[in-house]
Amino acid sequence: MPAEFVKALPILQKIRNSGYEAYFVGGSVRDVLLHRQIHDVDIATSAYPAETKQIFEHTIDIGIAHGTVLVLADGDEYEVTTFRTEDVYVDYRRPSHVNFVRQLSEDLLRRDFTINAFALADDGQVIDLHGGIADLEAEILRAVGNPAERFNEDALRIMRGLRFAAVLNFDLESKTFASMKDHAHLLAKISIERIFIELDKLLTADYWHKGFRDLLAIEAYPYLPDFSDQTALARLLALPSDFKFTNSVQAWGYLAHQLGATDGKFLLKKWKVSREFSSAVSDFLTAYHKRQQGDFSPEDLYKLGKSSLTLVEELFAAQNLETNFEHISVLDSQLQIRSRQAIAVSAGQIMTAFGIQPGPQIGQLYHQIELEIVKGQLKNTPQEIFNYVKRNFERT
């Protein structure tokens, strides 16, 4: 067992010593079997929430209506969830009601894919009731039970399936693939924020080519904001199959470029991303368009940042276009300021020294000072700036 499981074993053992069943479940068990690094340690138990709270001294009700209790032990936190079944789903995403049960088999039946339907006991035994180990060995992604039922219950599982294909380099099992295609229209009913999370993980995965190709193949794209142009989307796959996006900004920026977006903000507004992320993607797009016209300038570096320029250059390299990473490094080393606040003299100091009144005149002058410093034509020192004002004030 990995260290994370070993550390959590006392939680399982304390539950079992109290007369209940308890197992590690979910993606962490899958990742252990695949020898991948695990992240969250999830525990499922036959104990009902009230019973779990009686077992442990320190708990927090974080999702008790759905059977989850947060157990605090030795400075760590563990989500302990009661075995459960789920009633009819509403809005193709959430169950109208959950029922607590005592049988692990009923709980595993509600999981999305066989490779996520494992349980691991404290003695190291893997409980696999749906052929998940065979699917891991065959590198196949298969829905648990009837795939139509799984995707009708929660249509977000379609995007999760595409993401798993991209992360694990697994193929979609034929019936699962067909059902994902049949139910792709249900994505229109799912929160765009949740879809963005899954698509973002897909695009930044090692095998994003596979996941994105599957997204096109199941015809999910018409149900995603501004993704109706299949030809434009397919151009993403012209990148080398071994190319990996450095980060989300690069992935979404290049995707927006293929879709013909000029600044990205209009597209991303529909995806309801943060303003910060939207601005970063827009900076990338601006940098990409400028790079298509020639080498970057000092002003480009100052306004858009070294990160945006480097991300663009990486994509140029992936397309076998001429690149000049050294030019970006030189521009960065020569840049005297990173923001207006770094200018050695404030606008107020200039107004006081030269008797300039507030208004457009000082704004234009200070902006010109900023540009001259960025271009390297004016040293960022008080003396040089005051000399510049003396020479140019009457002409502003």
Task: State whether residue 13 is helix, strand or coil.
Answer: helix
Q: Is the pLDDT of residue 108 over 60?
A: yes
Residue recorded with tokens 């229209």: 185
Tell me the one-letter amino acid at 202: L
User: Average pLDDT, whole number, for the chain?
Assistant: 92
Predicted confidence at residue 87, as pLDDT, reads: 55
Predicted confidence at residue 396, as pLDDT, reads: 44
For the 340-395 domain, the top CATH level (class) is mainly alpha
Q: Is the dihedral of CA 90, 91, 92, 98 positive or negative?
A: negative
Predicted confidence at residue 394, as pLDDT, reads: 61
Predicted confidence at residue 258, as pLDDT, reads: 93
Whether residue 157 is annotated as binding a ligand: the answer is: yes
In the chain, domain spans? 1-138, 139-224, 246-335, 340-395
Q: 1-138: which CATH number, 3.30.420.40, 3.40.50.300, 3.30.460.10, 3.40.50.150?
A: 3.30.460.10
Q: Is 169:242 a contact under the CB 8 Å cutoff?
A: no
Q: Across the strands, what pairs with 22?
A: 45
Pairing of strands 84-86, 98-100: antiparallel
What contacts 24+ positions apart, CB below 8 Å, involve 251-256? 251/200, 251/203, 251/204, 251/208, 252/200, 252/203, 252/277, 252/281, 253/281, 253/284, 253/285, 253/288, 253/311, 254/288, 254/315, 255/203, 256/281, 256/285
Q: Tokens at residue 394, please?
A: 């009457």
In sequence order, what are the residues at sequence separation of 6 or more whose Cβ sits closer than 8 angstroms to the Cβ of residue 368?
392, 396
Percentage, residues of the chain above pLDDT 70: 96
Kindly report, residue by residue over 17-64, the tens digit of the pLDDT: 999 999 999 889 999 999 998 878 899 999 999 999 999 999 998 878
More confident residue, 89 or 262: 262
Give the H or E element holding residue 320. Answer: none
Whether residue 391 is annotated as binding a ligand: the answer is: no
Q: Is 127:109 a contact under the CB 8 Å cutoff?
A: no
- Cα distances (angstroms) measured from residue 367 to each of 346, 361, 374, 391: 11, 10, 11, 16
Whether residue 36 is annotated as binding a ligand: the answer is: no
Whether residue 338 is annotated as binding a ligand: the answer is: no
Kindly report, residue by residue over 144-172, the tens digit of the pLDDT: 999 999 999 899 999 999 999 999 999 99
Kindly report, residue by residue over 205-223, the tens digit of the pLDDT: 999 999 999 999 999 999 9
Predicted confidence at residue 20, as pLDDT, reads: 95
Whether residue 27 is annotated as binding a ligand: the answer is: yes
Which stretch, 95-109, 129-143, 266-280, has highest mean pLDDT? 129-143
Predicted confidence at residue 95, as pLDDT, reads: 55
Q: How many CB atoms lie within 10 A of CB 156?
A: 21
Whether residue 42 is annotated as binding a ligand: the answer is: yes
Pairing of strands 118-120, 140-141: unpaired
Q: Is 304:286 a contact under the CB 8 Å cutoff?
A: yes
Q: Is the pLDDT of residue 243 over 50?
A: yes
In sequence order, what are the residues at sequence separation of 6 or more whose Cβ sits closer than 8 angstroms to the Cβ of residue 12?
22, 23, 24, 43, 121, 122
Whether residue 76 is annotated as binding a ligand: the answer is: no
Give CATH for domain 246-335.
Answer: 1.20.58
Q: Is the pLDDT of residue 272 over 50?
A: yes
> How many Cα atoms are found within 13 Å in the side-chain-facing hemisphere of 280?
15
Q: Is the pLDDT of residue 185 over 80?
A: yes
Predicted confidence at residue 93, as pLDDT, reads: 53
Whether residue 160 is annotated as binding a ligand: the answer is: yes
Q: Is the pLDDT of residue 132 over 70?
A: yes
Q: Helix/strand/coil (H, E, C) string of the chain?
A: CCHHHHHHHHHHHHHHHCCCCEEEECHHHHHHHCCCCCCCCEEEECCCHHHHHHHCCCEEEEEHHHCEEEEEECCEEEEEEECEEECCEECCCEECCEEECCCHHHHHHCCCEHHHCEEECCCCCEEECCCHHHHHHHCEECECCCHHHHHHHCCHHHHHHHHHHHHHCCEECHHHHHHHHHCHHHHHHCCHHHHHHHHHHHHCCCCHHHHHHHHHHCCCHHHCCCCCCHHHHHHHHHCCCCCCCCCHHHHHHHHHHHCCCCCCHHHHHHHCCCHHHHHHHHHHHHHHHHHHHCCCCHHHHHHHCHHHHHHHHHHHHHCCCCCCHHHHHHHHHHCCCCCHHHCCCCHHHHHHHHCCCCCHHHHHHHHHHHHHHHCCCCCCCHHHHHHHHHHHHHHC
Q: Is 141:161 a contact under the CB 8 Å cutoff?
A: yes
**pLDDT band for position 90 (50/70/90)?**
low
For the 139-224 domain, the top CATH level (class) is mainly alpha
Q: Is the pLDDT of residue 373 over 60?
A: yes
